[in-house]
Chain A
Amino acid sequence: MTGLLLRRIASLVLTLLAVSALIFLVMDVLPGDPAAIMLGTSATPETLEALRRELGLDQPLVLRYLSWLAGVATGDLGMSYTYGVPVAGLIAERLVVTLPLAFLAILLSVAIAIPLGVASAARRNSVVDTAVGFLSQMFIAVPGFWVGLLLVLVFSVSFGWVPSGGFPGWQAGVLPALGALVLPAIALALPQAGVLTRVTRSAVIEVMNEDFVRTARAKGLPRRKALWRHAVPNALVPVVTILGLQFTFLIAGAVLVENVFNLPGLGRLALQALSQRDIIVMQDVVLFFAALVIVMNFLVDLSYLALDPRLRGRT
């Protein structure tokens, strides 16, 4: 158990190191000079030189990489070229929007998918099953940002229940902040709920066909109890795997949805930094995403141990 943990942590650090080198190289070969972008069409060569000096872009590649790495290791993520403030602060400001949004979306998609998936598995080939199948197809097929636009039209423009976008900040109170996140969370959650419903359905059906469920039923356990006591808990492993993967999709999908709802989240920061070639911000954000994915996968692995006692004895 401890050995497994240590090995996982070591591979985690190595992966991050490799990712950091990759990001740095990609950013470096990307066309576009941050200084030229910041100084516009009338900049003179001397001003470009002065700005490159100020941003440290006149240093050689390896030196820039090492100083970035050393900074990251000590918690100093550097200064944003365009904003002129520490990147760590920028990421922190955006996380308080993106993380709650992602968690809210996960909660919603689980709350939608598990009951639908189980119901549809329990009544295979019934009207319910067909309806759920149709619904989940639709959730998957319809793009999140479009759902977002539709939700804004209905709930903000027509009904006026929630603001059409933007984020008041948590200092404005929990309710207004959550209010601003509800529509984007729904827009993010629906496609994920579609996928999750189908996974849940097939996993439950598979388990229901297993011998031990048949045995339980043969011993006289009602179908309903067999479903909830045996089939659903055993179907959770694939569901949690997908959930872990989805978290990364959610963070990525947040870019579009944050744009539609004008939320100052991490996705918008990344997009803006990319278009302005705020390379240091790009590097930090991508590295952060990579770390998040790696940690998430790690947590999913750990959750298998909790969900499936058989795995605990191994390694």
Chain B
Amino acid sequence: MRKILKIEERFYRVLMFLSTTFIGTALFVILFSILRTGLPHLSWEMLSEIPHGGYYFGKSGGIFNAIVGSVYLSLGSSLIAFLVGLPIAMFINIHLIRHTKFVAVIRFLLDLLWGVPSIVYGAFGFTIMVFFGMRTSLMAGIITVSLFILPIIVRAMDEVLRNVPKGLLESAKSLGSTNSEIAYVVYFKQCLPGIITAWLLAFGRAIGDAASILFTTGYTDYVPHALNEPAATLPLAIFFQLSSPIPEVRERAYAASAILIFIVLTVSVVSRILSCKYNKNKINF
């Protein structure tokens, strides 16, 4: 009996080990297969120039417009989501700390919103656009994406603020601070690394999502100069170029995916470094 149990355990442990390595290998294979195909086609021209005439038939040019468009879009939307999201997270954890039922309802609602697919936000953004008579523009994209990342950023900041010890809140209150001072002086400082990480997470989501901006941002070969102009974005640039029958254009799509991977990895590494560095200044109880 004992022996059978041992064999069973060993069998499952091998399976577990295999599935863990499977996940690790999957990431490696994804990064390796894209970088191997994309990096040889990456050039300074691709990074720094907008598409010239005949670009989509394999002539010269780059995807500078898409890089700039993506950065504008995700900076704008993550800023809006931050400005709306931070007060909500503070509200849940400071003002409503005693109303646990209400907080549970808010968290439930945020979780539901998090689960809504980005294409639904895209379709919704499109209906708003039609309703207000707007054209496809950077502004419409920023609004749609900020709605999409709002629940993500709030829940991420909420997880951080949740772990602040209650003693900090009590002592700040007993010294006579107003709620806004507790929020933006005490809690904000205490959780700064976590808040930055949450913002970076939202930024990464915003820069990588294609479905929500498909309807709203449009596509252009020029760098946008105003909020009411359409803008190109990296994910859509990859998507459109990959559906081309011309091999040169497709190779550029692989190079563009390498750029996107590089941006996302940088965001991830920076958020890790930041959270390690700033955690030293935290008050520990």
Q: Are A and B part of the same complex? A: no
Q: B residues bordering A, Cβ < 8 Å?
A: none
**What residues make up the interface of A, taking CB atoms closer than 8 Å to B?**
none
